[in-house]
Amino acid sequence: MFDLQSLIIGVILIVKKYTCINIKIHSESNDDDYKNGIILLPLVGLAIGFVASFISSFKIFYDGFFVSAFVLSYYCIITKTVNLRDTYRTLNYIIKPKNQTEQISGTIGIIVICLFYFSLMRIVDVTAVLLMPVAGYSGLIILSRVFHRNKKGTSVIKYCDKYHSLSAFGISFALAVVINYKLVIPLALTYMISGAAVNIMDKKIKLLPNSIEGFIVEITQLIFLIVTYIFKIT
């Protein structure tokens, strides 16, 4: 049975996890609320992308480097760098350092990712910037079906079921059609490429860390921007 209150509480939990917006909940929450909220995670990405695309549109008035730096700063602030920090931890987990002070792989990875964002946000169309977080969060849900490892250590993937994946798939493509129908092809290619990468990763990682979720979001977003740029969609 559909429970609107549970859905609203779940969305609030998701918003608190992935953004700097802290909304107080005056009722008790449980795992079912969180599980219900995951369904609308792509729409949370849409809200983040909407403001990012609005800022990006100022490229027609100001220097592209300045605007892209502003967009990247906004993205880091609104998301509390949750996904970037997860990416840092995941890279250090995959490329295991000899000791805890030698986490150079994570540092280099974050620098490279930020440089990619800085460059791509300057040259891609604003509609791609709008859809980027939708692709990232939808990809996290869709790709949860690819992993065959123990998912108990994760916070989103372990709750994702078949209907979550179908919902994320449908919402993301529906939004792509509405925003810019040309983005459907890059979105499809993004899911295919990231799915292949996650499949390879799943075979090599023995234990699925919680930080893998932020890593998937960031990599999926970058792949989407790169593919969009390659196809020169405007």
Q: pLDDT tens digit string along 62-89? A: 888 899 999 999 999 999 999 999 999 8
Tokens of 63: 């220097």
Predicted structure pTM score: 0.92
Torsion angles phi and psi, residue 71, rounded to 5: -65, -45
Residue with token string 């999926």? 220
What pLDDT, in 10s, does the model give residues 149-181?
Answer: 778 888 899 889 899 999 999 999 999 999 999
Element (H, E) at 160: none
Question: For the chain, what is the total number of helices (H) and then of strands (E)?
Answer: 10, 0
Query: Among the residues of 82-183, which ranges form H helices?
Result: 82-94, 104-123, 126-143, 162-180
Amino acid at 139: G
pLDDT band at 1 (very low <50, low <70, confident <90, very high): very low
